[in-house]
């Protein structure tokens, strides 16, 4: 490491390199970008000078001058600890990489205002496009940013008040089929756990359940619906109460993986095994200690197709706003109820173990 390289604060510029190599600025530019032909000897002198100084091109300056793209897309998303979102992010990251783009992952916030602010910040940074898992609320504010030239694709939920590309699930059909499964098994008192109806997806899923009742000419009792179950913990607590009722439901329908996991935990804790249908599959659902049915879909495709759509826009393709609807399917999950043999050697709770 040579002492010249320690600039701490001021990075060497093309001009510095040009001076050191005794050539013009433009020659350095040519060498650095490696497109136009440069005399070999000159080129190597430039390379050497750049190396010695620790020159690193300033990408933003190049973009500014040339008017080229930042080769960056933004993703607005909630919580990466939720595997639904993490899978979307992984898919988007893969597609971005395949296109040689960097990905800025930002928080979509709690409401439409937060979201708009995040979008505007990314627009100031001149991202080439935006993938948004929208919060609830009106998204008309984003129209302006789209008109200004930042294409956007919405994931999981269509934007409200905005005509834009989206990739969504067939929530209605999935929920209808899932609830139908329980109804066809003879259950009519089905406990339904959903997150807030502020999420349009939840409304669609609930509508699907209602339709399953209607399909069979059965009455739907709205009091079966438990609202605002946002976390597994909340779901488990609500389940505790429900299971203590005099006539608890004989089966359960959970609106997403969080409520599903919470319900599973509660049922297990109470040593009950009422049939359960859960919208969203999740890791290790196959090893749950009881059978269950999940409404599954291609989570990765949700992100990947959205990103592909966005890149079509970025490449300048012109087409009417498109909504891709991903199908769902019912999948059996969980283990059967027969126990594994007692190994006799199972480890016992041990001191120092939580």
Least Cβ distance, residue 328 to a copy of itself (angstroms): 12
Least distance in angstroms from the C-beta of 283 to DNA: 45
Answer for the pair 353, 347: CB distance below 8 angstroms, yes or no: no
Which one of 207, 250, 324, 326 is in contact with a copy of itself (CB under 8 A)? 250
Whole-angstrom Cα distance, residue 24 to residue 76? 43
Q: Which residues pair with 107 in a beta bridge?
A: 77
Q: With both helix axes pointing from N to C terminus, report the angle between 40-53 and 25-33 in degrees, rounded to the nearest 10.
A: 90
Question: Which CB sits closer to a copy of itself, 9 or 217?
Answer: 9
Taking CA atoms, 263 is separated from 72, 101, 297, 329, in Å, by 40, 41, 21, 21
Given the complex with a copy of itself, which of 197 and 230 has the nearer CB atom?
230
Tell me which residue has tokens 């759509």.
Answer: 309
Residue nearer to a copy of itself on the CB measure, 37 or 350: 350
Q: Which of 18, 104, 130, 131 binds a copy of itself (CB under 8 A)?
A: 104
Using CB under 7 A as the criterion, which residues of the chain lie in contact with DNA when the complex forms?
10-11, 13-15, 23-27, 29-30, 32-33, 36-39, 42, 57-58, 61-62, 64-68
Beta strands in the chain (DSSP E): 72-77, 102-107, 129-132, 152-156, 165-169, 190-193, 225-226, 251-254, 276-279, 292-296, 323-326, 329-333
Q: Kind of pairing, strands 165-169 and 323-326? A: parallel
The answer to whether 104 and 73 have CB atoms below 8 angstroms apart is yes
303-332 residues near a copy of itself, rule: CB under 8 A: 329-332
Answer for the pair 231, 217: CB distance below 8 angstroms, yes or no: no
Binds a copy of itself (CB under 8 A): choice among 39, 272, 323, 325 = 272
Q: How far is CA 288 from CA 181, 266, 270, 278, 297, in A?
A: 19, 13, 15, 13, 19
| Residue 14 binds which entry of a copy of itself, DNA, none, CB below 5-8 Å type-dependent | DNA
Angle at CA of residue 119, ends 118 and 121, nearest 5°? 65
**Minimum distance between the CB of residue 45 and a copy of itself, rounded to whole angstroms?**
20
Residue 222 interacting partner from DNA, a copy of itself, none (CB closer than 5 to 8 Å by kind): none
- Residues 4-63 binding a copy of itself (CB under 8 A) are 5-9, 11, 54, 56-61, 63
From the list 274, 278, 302, 306, which residue makes contact with a copy of itself (rule: CB under 8 A)? 274
Helices 200-215 and 171-184: crossing angle, nearest 10°?
40
Q: How far is the CB of 280 from a copy of itself (least distance, A)?
A: 13
Nearest approach, Cβ of 240 to a copy of itself (angstroms)?
16
Cβ count near 330 (within 10 Å): 15
Which 197-236 residues touch a copy of itself, going by CB under 8 A?
Answer: none
Which one of 37, 244, 245, 271 is in contact with a copy of itself (CB under 8 A)? 271
Q: Least Å distance between CB 94 and a copy of itself?
A: 8
Report the partner that residue 347 touches, choosing among a copy of itself, DNA, none (CB closer than 5 to 8 A by kind). a copy of itself
Rank residues 40 and 349 by Cβ distance to a copy of itself and give the closer one.
Answer: 349
Smallest Cα–Cα separation from 103: which of 59, 72, 78? Answer: 72
76 binds a copy of itself (CB under 8 A): no
149 binds a copy of itself (CB under 8 A): yes
Q: Which residue shows structure tokens 């992952």?
A: 105
How many residues at the interface with a copy of itself, by CB under 8 A?
Answer: 95
Taking CB under 8 A as the criterion, the residue among 227, 237, 290, 312 binding a copy of itself is 290
* Minimal distance, residue 63 CB to a copy of itself, in Å: 6
Asked if 237 is part of the footprint of a copy of itself (rule: CB under 8 A), the reply reads: no
Cα(34)–Cα(347) distance, integer angstroms: 63
Name the nearest CA neighbour of 131 among 100, 171, 101: 101
164-193 positions binding a copy of itself, by CB under 8 A? 181-182, 185-187
């Amino acid at each position: 490491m040579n002492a010249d390289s320690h600039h701490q604060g001021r990075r060497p510029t093309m001009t510095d390199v040009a001076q050191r190599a005794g050539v013009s600025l433009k020659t350095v530019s040519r060498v650095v970008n490696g497109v136009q032909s440069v005399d070999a000897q000159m080129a190597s002198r430039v390379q050497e000078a750049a190396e010695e100084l620790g020159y690193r091109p300033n990408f933003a300056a190049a973009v500014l001058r040339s008017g080229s793209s930042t080769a960056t897309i933004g993703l607005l998303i909630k919580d990466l600890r939720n595997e639904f979102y993490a899978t979307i992010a992984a898919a988007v990251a893969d597609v971005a990489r395949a296109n040689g783009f960097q990905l800025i992952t930002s928080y979509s916030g709690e409401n439409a205002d937060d979201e708009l602010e995040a979008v505007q910040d990314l627009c100031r940074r001149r991202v080439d496009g935006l993938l948004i898992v929208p919060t609830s609320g009106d998204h008309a504010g984003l129209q302006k940013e789209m008109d200004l030239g930042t294409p956007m694709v919405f994931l999981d939920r269509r934007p409200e008040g905005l005509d834009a590309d989206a990739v969504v699930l067939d929530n209605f059909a999935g929920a209808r089929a899932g609830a139908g499964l329980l109804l066809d098994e003879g259950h009519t008192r089905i406990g339904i756990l959903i997150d807030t109806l502020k999420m349009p997806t939840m409304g669609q899923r609930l509508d699907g359940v209602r339709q399953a009742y209607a399909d069979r000419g059965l009455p739907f009792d709205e009091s079966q619906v438990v609202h605002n179950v946002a976390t597994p913990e909340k779901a488990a607590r609500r389940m505790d109460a429900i299971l203590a009722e005099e006539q608890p439901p004989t089966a359960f329908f959970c609106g997403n993986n969080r409520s599903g996991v919470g319900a599973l935990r509660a049922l297990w804790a109470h040593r009950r095994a009422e049939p359960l249908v859960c919208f969203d599959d999740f890791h290790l659902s196959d090893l749950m200690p009881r059978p269950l049915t999940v409404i599954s879909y291609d989570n990765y495709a949700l992100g990947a197709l959205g990103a592909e759509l966005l890149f079509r826009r970025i490449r300048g393709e012109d087409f009417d706003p498109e909504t891709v609807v991903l199908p769902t399917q019912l999948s059996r999950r969980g283990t059967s109820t027969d126990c594994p043999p007692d190994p006799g050697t199972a480890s016992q709770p041990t001191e120092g173990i939580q």
